[in-house]
Structures are given as C-alpha cells and as structure tokens.
Amino acid sequence: MFRSIGAIVLLVWSSLPAHAHQVIGIADGDTLTLLVDQKPVKIRLADIDAPEKKQPFGQRSKQSLSKLCWEKEADYVVQAIDKYKRKVATVYCDGVNVNKSQVRLGMAWVYPKYNKDPYLPSLQKAAKLTGLGLWADVAPVPPWEWRKALKSLNN
C-alpha cells in the first residue's frame, strides 16, 4: 500500500512544473511576463481568451490577473509557442491555476479554437449562470469576435 501511495505522490510531483519564477509584468488578462534566468519571458495563458484592453472588462480582467499573480512566484507548463514567439502555457501563481481562475471569475472566455482543458467549459458555465465578471454584461462579445470586427473596420 505504501509503495502505491509513494508511486502516486511521485507521479503527481513529477508532473508539476520544475521552477518558480517571479512575475514581473501583466500585459492584459491573459498575458504575463516572468523573470526566467534573469530574462523576461512573455507567457500567453493557454486555453483562454481575455477581453482586449479597450474592450468592456478588459481592464478588470488585467486587474484580476494582477491580483492573482503580480510579484508572486509562478510556475508554468508550456503547451505551445504562438506566432508571436510567446510561450502558451498553463500558469500557476502561488500554486493556483490562473488559467482556470480567470475563467471561474468571469474574467476570460474559454477559447474554443484552442482549448484542451475539459474542465474549463463547466467553470465558464458556472460564471455565466451567476453573472460573474464579464457575464454581468448584457451581451458580452468574445475577444476573437471583437478583434475580427476591429480588423474589418480598419480594412
């Protein structure tokens, strides 16, 4: 029995990120900068999409991520590198999964095009049902639709 408990603990421990890094910047509700080996590394939160800065709830989403992470220790698990050369990752600030927290608090949408986390849709549904964060808006517009509309206006 102790052998199987030890194996489970080892398995969980080995799947956790290896190093903690200082959060030195918050760009918006789904992008932050960590100090890694004395160099700034920009991280895009995986699976979610937060409101744009000038979009309704954009500043509140940024403030929420700041509250969760600013000047705290963060670990991350990279899922991909995006077209802007940012690491796309699940981020843990003081042990809290901030990708999930942003959705749970109504500060970000699940990004359907890229989501790989099966638990995020239920967190979003709960936030929506209780009117948390951006879900308090009468007709919230997902950021991918907001960007598309802005792009078509500028063309």
Task: Say if 120 falls within a structural domain.
Answer: yes
Per-position DSSP letters for 88-146, written without gaps between them: EEEEEETTEEHHHHHHHTTSSEE-TTT---TTHHHHHHHHHHHT-GGGGSSS---HHHH
Secondary structure (DSSP) of 56-74: TTHHHHHHHHHHHHTTSEE
Number of domains in the chain: 1
The whole-model pTM stands at: 0.86
Tokens at 118, concatenated:
């099966």
**100 touches 119 (CB < 8 A):** yes
Domain assignment of residue 2, yes or no: no
Residue 134 φ/ψ region, left for φ over 0, alpha for ψ in the -120 to 50 degree band, beta for the rest: alpha
Domain annotation covers residue 67? yes
Give the CATH number, domain containing residue 144. Answer: 2.40.50.90
Question: Tens digits of per-residue pLDDT, 97-151?
Answer: 999 999 999 999 999 999 999 999 999 999 999 999 999 999 999 999 999 998 8
Q: At 78, which helix (H) or strand (E)?
A: strand 73-81
Residue whose C-alpha is closest to residue 49's, from 98, 107, 97, 105: 107
102 domain-assigned: yes
Q: How many CA atoms lie within 13 A of 94 on its CB side?
A: 9
Has residue 3 been placed in a domain?
A: no
Is residue 1 domain-resident?
A: no
User: Does residue 47 belong to any structural domain of this protein?
Assistant: yes
Mean pLDDT of 27-41: 97
Q: State the pLDDT confidence band at 10, using cuts at 50, 70 and 90.
A: very low
Residues with active-site annotation: 44, 52, 86
Q: 115: domain range?
A: 8-154
Domain assignment present for 19: yes
